[in-house]
Amino acid sequence: ILNVEQSPQSLHVQEGDSTNFTCSFPSSNFYALHWYRWETAKSPEALFVMTLNGDEKKKGRISATLNTKEGYSYLYIKGSQPEDSATYLCAFRGNAGGTSYGKLTFGQGTILTVHP
């Protein structure tokens, strides 16, 4: 099983703070890196799919960067709001040939709590 790690495990911030989390993944056989947002009692919701080294993606106040050579991705949230409170998951797709790129390995997630 591939090693995909996220840090920190949990984070408490005040409304208006900016914050960031890290996802580390294997640097070989890279295919894609996904970010998901998962609110309690709901299903995970896709944020970004990143494929190229140096990729930067942005959706509103949330952005992400990717470094495939060193095997890490950062997720940034600018001006956190209470509605940003959720678990943020990253997931790694490798490509070792055939249909192996269908396999998705998730990190354990970073639980973000934004206090009003």
Q: Among 107, 111, 112, 114, indicate the residue that binds other proteins (CB under 8 A).
A: 107
Q: Cis (ω within 30 of 0) for the bond into 8?
A: yes
DSSP state of 41: T
Return d(Cα 60, Cα 62) in angstroms, integer. Answer: 6
Return d(Cα 98, Cα 16) in angstroms, integer. Answer: 46
22 part of the interface to other proteins, by CB under 8 A? no
Q: Among 60, 97, 102, 116, indicate the residue that binds other proteins (CB under 8 A).
A: 102
Q: Among 23, 25, 34, 111, indicate the residue that binds other proteins (CB under 8 A).
A: 34
Write each residue from 35 to 54 as x if it is in contact with other proteins (CB under 8 A), else as -, in one continuous string.
Answer: --------xxxx--x-x---
